[in-house]
Homo-oligomer: A and B are copies of this chain.
Amino acid sequence: MNITTKDLAKVVVFQNATEGDLKLILKNSIVRSIEEGEFFFFQGDFAQYLYILTSGQVKLMQSNPNGQQVNLRTIYPWQMFGALGAVRSEATYPATAQALENSTGLAIESSFLHKLLETHPQIAFDLMTLMTTYIQEMQARYRELATERVEQRVANALLRLAAQVGIRSEKEAIIELSFSRQDVAEMTGTTLFTVSRLLSDWERKGIIKTGRERIKIIRPHDLVRISDGMEK
């Protein structure tokens, strides 16, 4: 598949770039394909490239010295990742990017984008806007982790995922998600056992239906109640 400037305009940060800029960006980037489970980059690597995901799905995660990891964010096509290095030169990636399925990304030299930002205030501005959402989201999740119980955090994570990537069924408010218990655990700072127990419980109550790496939300409203801590 060939990537055109039209595709590139779908990237939020490039939405206000001119056709000429987009062409220049394309010329300064290379396509990189990665198999499921492989990595675009590791936490601590020198941040030579930033990426635009063109197909597939990528997990951004951070590990502590013992190897325990948390999921920071999942990347979908036409989203940018690994961009922090473009701002601070000589930077290293603060997270690891692993492909959840066979994925293709457009790799742009960090130093190239760095230069581009200096001369294109509008692109810099759009990148800044993106950063503010990241900051706010991380702050909110931090607070959630510090103050909310596991139930609430898991319910919240499901709702957030549903809003981002859920596939809505025509009929009612049924939303389908493809995530393992382990994934959800890493997103919410708990263990797969606890997530499994919670989901089983909710399934018994008819709030969701579950399967192997599948969660179907039947009654979102009940999840909202749980996430608000109204339950119990």
Contact = CB atoms under 8 A, between A and B. Distances in A.
Interface string A72-108: 1000000000001001100100110000000000000
Nearest to A73: B139
Contacts of A128: 87, 117, 124, 127-128, 131
Interface stretch (A25-33, A145-153, A215-223): A145-153
Interface residues of A, number: 44
Contacts of A140: 62, 94
Interface string A4-23: 00000000000000000000
A228 interface: yes
A232 to B, nearest CB: 14
A142 interface: yes
Given A124-B128, A131-B131, A132-B84, A142 B143 contact: no
B87 A147 contact: no
Contacts of A118: 121, 125
> Which 6 residue pairs spanning A and B have beta carbons closest together?
A146-B189, A138-B138, A68-B147, A131-B131, A70-B146, A62-B143
Interface of A: 62-66, 68-70, 72, 84, 87-88, 91, 94-95, 117-121, 124-125, 127-129, 131-132, 134-136, 138-148, 189, 228-229
6 contacts: A62-B139, A64-B148, A69-B147, A70-B143, A84-B136, A124-B124
